[in-house]
A and B are shown apart, each in its own frame.
Chain A
Amino acid sequence: MRALTLGRWLRGARGRGGARAPRRVPPARAALTAPAPRPAPVPPRPAWQRGQQRPPQRKVTVEVLDRLEHLALVDFRDAEGVERLQKAIQFADQLHEVNTDGVEPMDSVLEDRCLYLREDDVTEGNCTNELLKNAREKVEEYFVAPPGNIPLPKLEERETFLQGS
């Protein structure tokens, strides 16, 4: 294979912008091991930097944290859990750097197509036994649940780490 001199690479790479005629170079080796001196059109430097200026962390109130635990029916477990949420919000706040004036929200990438709707005919079923197999508490053909309509205890009455906040 003819060796490519560094000088020729540099001369070829110096021209920026605008299409260049393909240079006559020997085909690249299959192993692709040696680094290219001045790669083009791959940008030699990162095109952007991670945001140094992080938006200030807004503290989430205990009321909101409690509400989230109620809505999600999962708990924060400890201070680390709350910290995780704070960091997540801070991370998401970067969205506000983007100008979205006049932009419609996108629900689905297939928004230009019609969703498939099939005929309202029963095509399968009668699998009660299979479905009941995976339930832990059942009576005859019923799933058994504890009594409903009993709200979760209020924050003061619950044993949750949030009480200390």
Chain B
Amino acid sequence: ALKGGSPFQVSAALKEGRVTPTELCQKCLSLIKSTKFLNAYITVAEETALKQAEESEKRYGRGQPLGVLDGIPVAVKDNFNAAGIETTCASKMLKGYISPYNATVVQKLLDQGAVLLGKTNLDEFAMGSGSTDGIFGPVRNPWSYSRQYKEKSVPKSHSQEDEESNWVITGGSSGGSAAAVSSFTCFAALGSDTGGSTRNPAAHCGVVGLKPTYGLISRHGLIPLVNSMDVPGILTRCVDDAAVVLGTLAGHDPKDSTTIQDNFKPFDLPNLTDVSKLSIGIPKEYHAPGLSSEILSLWSKAADLFKNAGAKVIEVSLPHTRYSIVCYHVLCTAEVASNMARFDGLEYGHRSDMNKSTESMYAATRREGFNDVVRGRILSGNYFLLKQNYENYFIKAQKVRRLIANDFVKVFGSGVDILLTPTTLSDAVPYMEFIKEDNRTRSAQDDILTQAANMAGLPAINVPTGLSERGLPVGLQFIGQSFQEKQLLTVAKWFEKQVKFPMIQLEVKRHDHGAFQHQKSASFS
């Protein structure tokens, strides 16, 4: 199986005919079935995927593949519209809703010949940091079933019940996409990133998670959470792949007026060998309270890595970092209150049977359709937008947002090229522990290191760096300057090469045969 390959590697194999698109597609579909317990996928579009694979095979047969992504199986988070496929946002409000159109990013992937395997699981309406609060249930981190994690976990007994209760979360809200990439069921996946929703699960699942600059990639077709911060996110197994996918997706879209009009040229990542001209900033506020000592140590070793290679590594300050979560809380709930207003049951989605009046129908529909988290945010948002509160909360938050964005401008203006920070405060926690706190508390804790980049619209990427003492992935984050993705990814790629993050040794039980089989993911049989 070519599970370990990147689009480059597997793409070369497709070109040379060592594997066919349909074989690849079938292997991935079969793996999705045997990893069903991860709950990474909400919808698997088996028939259409196989059709797309067949079309791709014909193109390869003619020697005319559309590009590197032709025939490559991909997955898309279930808050992107994909024509003919159910798009639910993991909410009762959209259960049964069949998208009549493709989101621009989905269309771009399909135009390049990618094979869309299905839609991945998430927190309801992308609100959350664990991928635990959707109507289809929580997503399980594939690393829970890795040899690396099992070896380090306290052996009470290796019974199935213990495995059942010990599994760890993926992080969120794009947990399904991260789990799908991490468990080799697809080669790339789309997520969304509003407060860290792509980078957080990427860190916990040991994959590359890229948040592009706001305005680079079209949001048309991405069901909006916070219009001024949302971006489509890219999850892949290596930085080169992320660059390829970025090249496919970036660029002006007439259907999204918030995409910039500058000409975007896809790029190949150079193999950086000399980092001596690089200036790496270490923002001190990113040593936030609660940062685990393991991650702190990994972060400093990474800083030393750059220093020893000749780069300039300096401490910098982003003084308003600690307020980014509070600011996000107000702006997010305010924009959510507005964005969720469209769900009234009239034109699409769930509709209540109540029909005494439009208002009572709307109220009942929304009562039945939204979970507590969504309702809570709508109500908070409306509170902050009340006339008596508008200046004190909403406008105030917008002012604080400028201060946060200016912090970055100052630092980059002083000669720093890239910032190096941790992505999360700790490795993935067990689900049973995660659910002890409510969604808002968790989000406030978990988004602390990722949120500011959304506030300022900057590109950021999680690169898997090492394993924690519990055998779980830990990632580090690079934050770059606006629209300087090439520089960001080049540095990330150099770093990725240095740390040589280990491959997951996934142990997948074949439930159908009842036999326990090891699947060494590195095997290329």
A interface residues with partner B (beta carbon < 8 Å): 19, 22, 25, 27-28, 30-36, 39-50, 60, 64, 67-69, 71-77, 80-81, 84-85, 87-89, 91-92, 94-98, 100, 103-110, 113, 115-118, 127, 130-131, 133-137, 143, 145-148, 150-153
Contacts and interface: CB of A to CB of B under 8 A. Distances in A.
Contact of B402 (A32, A81, A103, A148): A103
A28 B372 contact: no
B308 A28 contact: yes
Classify the secondary structure of B's interface with A: helix
Given A81-B379, A95-B330, A110 B347 contact: no
A98 B313 CA distance: 29
Interface hub of A28, A44, A49, A118 (most chain B Cβ within 10 A): A28
Given A40-B300, A92-B384, A118-B254, 18 more contacts: A25-B308, A39-B303, A41-B315, A49-B289, A71-B386, A72-B337, A72-B382, A73-B362, A92-B330, A92-B393, A95-B327, A96-B396, A105-B399, A109-B405, A130-B100, A133-B100, A135-B346, A150-B359
B259 A106 contact: no
Nearest to B316: A41
Contacts of A118: 254, 257
Contact of B382 (A27, A71, A81, A135): A71
Interface stretch (B50-58, B123-131, B179-187, B318-326): B318-326
Contacts of B308: 22, 25, 27-28
Contacts of B300: 36, 39-40, 42
A58 B190 CA distance: 41
A98 B393 CA distance: 12
20 contacts: A19-B314, A27-B308, A28-B301, A44-B287, A48-B322, A69-B363, A77-B367, A84-B379, A85-B380, A91-B326, A98-B323, A105-B399, A109-B405, A110-B215, A110-B260, A116-B257, A116-B259, A137-B346, A152-B360, A152-B363
A30 B301 CA distance: 10
SS of A interface (majority): loop
Contact of B333 (A46, A88, A130): A88
B296 A98 contact: no
Given A36-B297, A41-B315, A134-B97, A104 B376 contact: no
Contacts of A153: 360
Residue of A103, A133, A151 with highest tally of chain B CB at under 10 A: A103
Nearest to A131: B100
Contacts of A72: 337, 378-379, 381-382
Interface string B269-299: 0000000000000101111111101101111
Nearest to A97: B323
Nearest to B377: A88
B382 A30 contact: no
A106 B380 contact: no
Interface in B205-239: 214-215, 228
A130 B102 CA distance: 13
Contacts of B33: none
B329 A91 contact: yes
A28 B355 CA distance: 68
A120 to B, nearest CB: 13
A137 B361 CA distance: 12
B382 A105 contact: no
Given A72-B337, A91-B444, A131-B347, A103 B399 contact: yes
B305 interface: yes
Contact of A45 (B287, B329, B355): B287
B408 to A, nearest CB: 10
Interface in B350-368: 351, 354-363, 366-367
B358 A106 contact: no
B522 interface: no
Given A84-B440, A94-B326, A134 B348 contact: yes
Contact of A88 (B214, B258, B440): B440
Contacts of B215: 109-110, 113
B383 A85 contact: yes
A48 B285 contact: yes
Contacts of B403: 98, 100, 103
Q: Which 4 A-B pairs have the closest CB atoms?
A: A39-B300, A109-B457, A105-B398, A150-B357
A74 B258 contact: no
Interface in B462-484: 465-466, 482
Contacts of B288: 46-48
A119 to B, nearest CB: 9
A146 B291 contact: no
Contact of B299 (A42, A60, A103, A104): A42
A108 B399 CA distance: 11
A27 B215 CA distance: 39
B220 to A, nearest CB: 12
Given A28-B308, A98-B403, A46 B287 contact: yes
B176 interface: no
B372 A81 contact: yes
B418 interface: no
B298 to A, nearest CB: 6
A88 B380 contact: yes
B353 to A, nearest CB: 10
A39 B297 contact: yes
A9 B129 CA distance: 38
B454 to A, nearest CB: 9
A145 B258 CA distance: 33
A153 B360 CA distance: 9
Nearest to B421: A42
A28 B100 contact: no
B400 A100 contact: yes
Contacts of A113: 215, 260-261
A131 B99 CA distance: 9
A98 B396 CA distance: 9
A148 B289 CA distance: 52
Contact of A133 (B98, B298, B376, B466): B98
A124 to B, nearest CB: 9
A143 B337 CA distance: 24
Contacts of A68: 379, 382-383, 386
